[in-house]
Chains A and B, each alone.
Chain A
Amino acid sequence: MLILDLFKMALRSLISHKLRTFLTALGIIIGVASVISMISIGEGARQQTLSTISKFGTNIITIKPGQKKSRHVSTGKVDTLMLEDANVIEKNVPLITGVAAQVYRSAQLKYGNKNTNTTVRGTGKSYARLANFEMKNGRYFNQPEINAAKRVCVLGATVVKNLFEEAEPLGQTIKVDGKNFMVIGTTEPKGALSWFDPDDQIFIPVTTAQKRVFGMDHIQSIDVQAANIEDLEIIKEDIAQLLRLRHNIAEGKENDFYVQNSSQWLNSWGDAAKTFTYLLGGIAAISLMVGGIGIMNIMLVSVTERTREIGIRKAIGAKKKEILEQFLIESVLISFLGGGIGILLGVSISKMVSKIGGWDTIVSTQSILLAFGFSVGIGIFFGFYPANKAANMNPIEALRYE
């Protein structure tokens, strides 16, 4: 018999028991819908966390001099990091996309009759990118300007407001601790956090800061940007090894620097969210499994009910395979139907959750394919035993069945 005819027969049998078919499919509908909506909620939570994290720059590793003894306090010598360390890291450590050495100190700014006190940050050319500063006007300083220790500066939005109000700062000269600097750019405002205003600072070339403003040889920190968050640990390891070598630290001695990424705890939050997704998905998968058992149950009833039909079919020449296929197609059709409705339901649920509950939900194609594939797989898996039972019936006994 052609597969098309088997399909027609399976369809007819399902249609003739509409309510039963629907109730059987309901198990799969609920299972698929819950898998899709639960994963979308979990995934939404995870993505939201990650996007919050990446605003801070999750893939940034910070190297500071001294030893980290307690929270945020470094002890020991603070002049162990040199600008050359940053250059060597940039040249030799793989999987990174940027390195920015920094020195910073607060200083007095003056423009015309206006004064303000702010943080002056001496940086490399990649800093704006690493710290997620967008240029509003003008440009950031470049390598030649750094090499020549030019007196140029880029202003944060708060500084612009304090010094220039409505006036155009670009091309103007301001005084930093009494020294003239030309304004070559301004940054887009990032928005202040409650304890810290990232826009209340100005950026100058790191060399200029060292030689002309602060008068120091060392640098205070190096930011390193990783290409992938996954590689953070490897990169940290590489940096530590490289710096130990450069600083001639004997085996067993403590580092004279420390490497950290501030987003570590946020990362573990992301992992927790992932676990949360798995947990939700797992619970939902169990309901899908229960739906599959429902299919098996009904198919067993159906096979017993139709024993005589199976006997007739066998008597007129149906092969074992054809009986098997007929019943298997029925259970797969049920799970297909359930899977299809379940997807629609699951997507609407997650839309509703994000609309009414205000949660971020992300319905991924992956989760849809997963749930659908799983449900069809369940149809085959749980349909096989009943179908096999039907296919193996003895035609004589089946014909005698009342």
Chain B
Amino acid sequence: MIEAKNLSKTYDTGVLSVTALEQASFQIGKGEFVAIMGPSGSGKSTLMNLLGCLDLPSSGSYFLEDVDIGQLKPNQLAEVRNRRIGFVFQSFNLLPRATALENIELPLLYGRVPNSTEIAMNALDRVGLKHRAKHKPTELSGGEKQRVAIARALVNQPAIILADEPTGNLDSATGEEIMSLFHKLNEEKVTLILVTHEEEIAQQAKRIIKMKDGKIVQDQLLGVASC
């Protein structure tokens, strides 16, 4: 499903160039639950931006569902982000003036999907927040916000969901709730890629890719995900 070959990213600041990611190669199959781990500055955010089609690699290639992402034009990248990728962010990133339901509906609107309200409602139901449909993000708790964000990521039935420190802004109990929601989704065959620097969170995945100084230093399958 995902195939990265010698993926590298170099930022040119004018005076000197910084290599944020160097020769990363790996494959991720459908239904996997992968944690990308590493300290800050290890290149995990860069890798996530590449996997999320927000950025293009300096060299190497990235295939998502057999599509060579490096060859796509900006509008096509936007379409891939819209249809094939779901984002979950540390700071939720919901539109403050839109209701929970409208936030979830937004990707469908950009994708010109018919019956968007109905589909969005189903997604909201999937994260157990049907009763909060008309509430604005300011009226929701942190955990609820993140669940709305997950529903938004899910709504277009993407190939992968990319979660960047999804529990970073939540207390540990709420974080657990979110993690168990991820487990539930993974059981429903949703492919998850989780970026985190917390060992505890990473251990809940089925596979851990560890990074350091822009390189993959370890790619390890965990026997059974422990809760």
Contacts and interface: CB of A to CB of B under 8 A. Distances in A.
A70 B111 CA distance: 84
Interface string A1-42: 110010000001100100000000000000000000000000
Given A396-B49, A396-B55, A314 B78 contact: yes
B78 A317 contact: yes
B150 to A, nearest CB: 13
A319 B89 contact: no
Contact of A320 (B75, B98, B111): B75
Interface in A288-319: 308-309, 311-319
Given A315-B81, A316-B110, A395-B54, 13 more contacts: A2-B112, A312-B95, A313-B110, A315-B54, A316-B81, A316-B87, A317-B78, A317-B111, A320-B78, A321-B75, A396-B54, A396-B55, A399-B93
Interface in A341-400: 395-396, 399
A322 B109 CA distance: 11
A6 to B, nearest CB: 9
A397 to B, nearest CB: 10
Secondary structure at chain A's binding surface: helix, strand, loop or mixed? helix
Contacts of B82: 316-318
A317 B152 CA distance: 12
Interface string B91-111: 001110110000000110111
B83 interface: yes
Interface of A: 1-2, 5, 12-13, 16, 308-309, 311-322, 395-396, 399
A308 B93 contact: yes
A399 B110 contact: no
Contact of A316 (B49, B98, B107, B112): B107
Contacts of A315: 52, 54, 81, 87, 93
Contacts of B54: 314-315, 395-396, 399
B125 interface: no
Contacts of B128: none
Nearest to A321: B75
B79 interface: yes
A311 B94 CA distance: 11
Interface string B60-78: 0000000000000011001
Interface in B111-170: 111-112, 152
Nearest to A309: B95
B215 to A, nearest CB: 21
Interface of B: 49, 52, 54-55, 74-75, 78-79, 81-83, 87, 89, 93-95, 97-98, 106-107, 109-112, 152
9 nearest CB pairs, A to B: A317-B82, A319-B78, A316-B107, A317-B110, A317-B81, A312-B93, A1-B109, A1-B110, A5-B109
A318 B49 contact: no
B74 A12 contact: no
Contacts of B79: 317, 319
B151 to A, nearest CB: 12
A395 B95 CA distance: 15
B167 to A, nearest CB: 18
Nearest to A16: B97
24 contacts: A1-B109, A2-B109, A12-B97, A13-B97, A312-B95, A313-B106, A313-B110, A315-B93, A316-B87, A316-B106, A317-B79, A317-B83, A317-B107, A317-B111, A318-B110, A319-B75, A319-B110, A320-B74, A320-B78, A321-B75, A395-B54, A396-B49, A399-B54, A399-B93
Nearest to A322: B110
A396 B56 CA distance: 11
A13 B97 CA distance: 8
A13 B102 CA distance: 14
Contacts of B78: 314, 317-320
Nearest to A15: B97
Contacts of A317: 78-79, 81-83, 107, 110-111
Contacts of A312: 93-95
Contacts of B75: 319-321
A55 to B, nearest CB: 63
A272 B89 CA distance: 67
Nearest to A4: B109
A260 to B, nearest CB: 71
A120 to B, nearest CB: 87
A322 B106 CA distance: 12
Contacts of B49: 396
A313 B54 CA distance: 12
A321 B74 CA distance: 11
Contacts of A308: 93
A387 B45 CA distance: 28
A315 B110 CA distance: 11
A5 B113 CA distance: 12
